[in-house]
Structure 1
Amino acid sequence: MSINRRQLITGSASFAGVMMFGAPAVLGQGKPRVVVIGGGAGGATAAKYIAKDSAGAISVTLVEANPRYQTCFHSNLYLGGVRDFASITHRYNGMKKHGVTVVNGMAAKIDRDKKEVILANGKKLPYDRLVVSPGIDLKYDSVPGWSQAAEKVMPHAWKPGAQTLLLKKRLDAVPNGGVIVMIAPPNPYRCPPGPYERVSMMAHALKKAKKDRSKIIIIDPKETFSKQALFQEGWENRYKGMVEWLGPKVHDGLKSVDPKTNTVVTGFETYKNAALVNVIPAQMAGAIARDAGLANATGFCAIDPTNMKSAIDSNIYVLGDACIAGEMPKSAFSANSQAKVAAMMIRGELASARTFPARYTNTCWSMIDTDDAVKVGGAYEAKDGKIGASSTFISKTGESADLRKQTQAENMGWYTGITADIFG
């Protein structure tokens, strides 16, 4: 499957630009109001498409604390030295030309009864429909001995920005022969192939720096992981002897970490004075969603698969990593696709626009080396009360070098296309 920018913008949701039928259909005086919380792949896409395709019929406000957004997707390529930090950093200037009001502030609370978002500065933003796309929060107590304070020593870099810079700095300081321990997260988590692409890019950076006596040990709570055969083939071919993956039957459970000594203790072995410990903990929906009562016992938010509405509140849509999206993985591509469905449905409700049955798509590319990338993806629709796959694909082991190089070219082209689609 090949993809270009035009296909991304028009093909992943053929209904992105829907026909308008008259003026706003509800809500008395003035324009209907939509507030979007979170300026990532889900929130920013939703804000843009609601405003742009309603042709000014809906007032759209995007609330995002950061004036610049660093993408988690392709941050592994920054770690590997393939991208620079500026190339994964984006601003919201493009939103204004579509009529989106961007508020750089923190959403502190959602008052569902009054249909208001209260900002940290006390300002209240009334809404007729609310889009919640806050990403993930980390479960700091899911790794014994680790904490929010410890992330300054044992970085996670599973939220972009300062943590990404810190992990890169720590990686570059690893000496030849040094040991890196990655603690992989349990399901469900943001970007299923992400930890293993990160390992690949760490190994790439070490090898390029002539530190190929270094070793990366993965302590994984899962029996299997996304694209496992493809990654393990790649590690054997590209980074022989540098990467060791340990599943739970081998390491016998993670017992504790000690940030003071960079020590990791498992039931099988103790790794003392590691050169770098990368802790990727368990995850849950962002606090704003949980505090509003939108999450269930899993820590994530149930949605109606036909439209991305919260299962708790029909005036709220939940997108991206924070939602329970059935067989769709938590990825930027997924969030972008879900946002286009939500935008279409909101325009249908508030501006009498035509709507179509929800269709979702996703592709996740993973870079193993500069000329070696693999991918997995599929098409999805509402099935039996959840989002289910209608078709899937995945790269195969033993593919030709030319095909892998072509897949990597797709990967880079996709990033250019999706960031233009989100922020442009």
Structure 2
Amino acid sequence: MLAMPAIAQAKPKVVVVGGGPGGATVAKYVAQDSKGAIEVILVEPAKQFVTCFHSNLYLGGFRDLKSITHGYGDLAKKHGVKLANTSAASIDRDKKVVKLANGAGVNYDRLVIAPGIDLKFDSVPGYSEAASQQMPHAWKAGPQTQLLKTQLDSLKDGALIVMVAPPNPYRCPPGPYERASMMAHVLKAKGHKKSKIVILDTKPSFSKQALFVQGWERHYPGMIEWQDPKMHGGIKNVDPKTLTVKTDLGEYKAQLVNVIPAQMAGRIVRDAGLANDTGFCPIKPESMQSAMDVNIYIVGDACIPGDMPKSAFSANSQAKVAAMMIRGELIKSPTFPARYTNTCWSLIETDDTVKIGGRYEPKDGKIAAVETFLSKTDEPAALRKQTQEENMGWYKGISADIFG
């Protein structure tokens, strides 16, 4: 009697929506470490990714745009990730299908969503997506970053820059204040004596505050003024046509206005019912699995990360945990208890960089800090320079880790 031929079992399929630090890292590590046993499809409309991390250094003239722009070719060539160069339109959680903008549907065994943030344009009265062409936010890197740099580079001495800083939680907590530092660096390097930067904050305090304030006083005396809500009374209106910002206690007619509005998880996860009333997505801290759906993982800025900040380093760390857990579920590879890390560097002036970070573990239903560190005020110049060298080395390393 002839033996019946074996029926080939289809590979389990992982679909990843979003090709930023979180999504691209998951796609790479699921494909690479499963050694081809799992089919991985990365859905991302952009052919190149411009990193938000280090975009402030581009603004300040410490990097060029090419150096913060990355393609996805190596993910395909080196690791076998299939690239779907389109956007995800919707998710059918019951049928486990991602519908693409081109009308196609892609089924999945596990879905990873890393959509980053959407901006709440209307959180600032008078602001809108259209207004961002006059008052750039540049909180999604690319054309907005280039627009902000063009505006900054064109300023004459005596210019007023007004920044509206966002409420918590938002992408990259120290980012607005590093940006103000880079703006001041550009003005100082061009010999400006009378230009000024006013930060109108929606928060009573901010990340690395003592370090930034000391750095501003040292490098840019009198140039940067930070105001908390008690000082300005609240943002009443911005007018993109006249570049005017009105607060309860004053009005600013500026030459450049940088509005960074409130933020929420990308639309795709909100539409899929994976976010709660905060606008972000609850996850299981042991795995990065969605608290709403066992077949879906959410990493990066869209998730609620407990004590971790929303940063590229965090997204990359979360992605590696998610990739490990997915491989364990689909091909029974070994898994280990989740461990997370993060560091955020901020450049204040040439060779003067500070950092904050920590280690994190699942605890009491959230990702909890188990160890933290922060640069100190009055550190030696040699240490600050070393921290900047570390910053540049980290960028090179994490970019290679994410994109190939």
Q: What is the TM-score when the length of structure 2 is the normalising length?
A: 0.97
1:255-274 aligned within 5 A: 255-272=236-253, 274=254
Shift of 1:198: 0.3
- Give the letter for the 2:183 counterpart: M
Aligned mates of 1:410, 1:207 — CA distance in 2 = 25
The aligned counterpart of 1:410 is 390
Tell whether the 8 Å contact from 1:218 to 1:245 is kept in structure 2 after alignment.
Answer: yes
The aligned counterpart of 2:336 is 356
Aligned mates of 1:211, 1:90 — CA distance in 2 = 34
Of 276, 280, 288, which residue of structure 2 is paired with 1:296?
A: 276
> Which SS does the other structure have where 1:78 is aligned?
helix
Of 86, 111, 114, which residue of structure 1 is paired with 2:92?
A: 111
Aligned mates of 1:306, 1:76 — CA distance in 2 = 33
The aligned counterpart of 1:325 is 305
The aligned counterpart of 1:192 is 173
Q: Does the alignment pair 1:54 with 2:34? A: yes
> Which SS does the other structure have where 2:398 is aligned?
helix
The one of the two structures with greater contact order (alpha-carbon pairs below 8 A, sep at least 6) is 1
- Give the letter for the 1:283 counterpart: Q
Q: Does the alignment pair 1:310 with 2:270? A: no
The aligned counterpart of 2:380 is 400
> Which SS does the other structure have where 1:301 is aligned?
coil
The aligned counterpart of 1:37 is 17
1:112-261 aligned within 5 A: 112-261=93-242
Tell whether the 8 Å contact from 1:65 to 1:104 is kept in structure 2 after alignment.
Answer: yes
Shift of 1:49: 0.2
Tell whether the 8 Å contact from 1:306 to 1:357 is kept in structure 2 after alignment.
Answer: yes
Aligned mates of 1:216, 1:351 — CA distance in 2 = 54
Aligned mates of 1:418, 1:208 — CA distance in 2 = 30
Shift of 1:213: 1.8
The aligned counterpart of 2:5 is none
Deviations 1:234-286 (A, max 9, x none): 000001111000001101111111111000001111002x1100000000000
Output the aligned Cα RMSD. 0.7
- Give the letter for the 2:175 counterpart: G
Shift of 1:370: 1.6
Aligned mates of 2:193, 2:59 — CA distance in 1 = 16
Shift of 1:337: 0.1
Aligned mates of 1:303, 1:250 — CA distance in 2 = 37
1:380-395 aligned within 5 A: 380-395=360-375
Deviations 1:136-161 (A, max 9, x none): 00001100011111000000000011
Shift of 1:173: 1.2
Tell whether the 8 Å contact from 1:136 to 1:286 is kept in structure 2 after alignment.
Answer: yes
Unaligned runs of 5+ in 1: 1-27
Shift of 1:212: 3.4
Q: How many residues align?
A: 396
Deviations 1:362-421 (A, max 9, x none): 000000012100000000000100000000000000000000000000000000000000
- Give the letter for the 1:56 counterpart: G
Moved over 4 A (4+): none
Percent same amino acid among aligned pairs? Answer: 69
Aligned mates of 1:326, 1:58 — CA distance in 2 = 30
Tell whether the 8 Å contact from 1:363 to 1:375 is kept in structure 2 after alignment.
Answer: yes
Tell whether the 8 Å contact from 1:175 to 1:275 is kept in structure 2 after alignment.
Answer: no
- Give the letter for the 1:167 counterpart: L
- Give the letter for the 1:259 counterpart: P
Deviations 1:334-366 (A, max 9, x none): 000000000000000001100000000000000
Aligned mates of 1:76, 1:331 — CA distance in 2 = 14
Aligned mates of 2:155, 2:125 — CA distance in 1 = 24
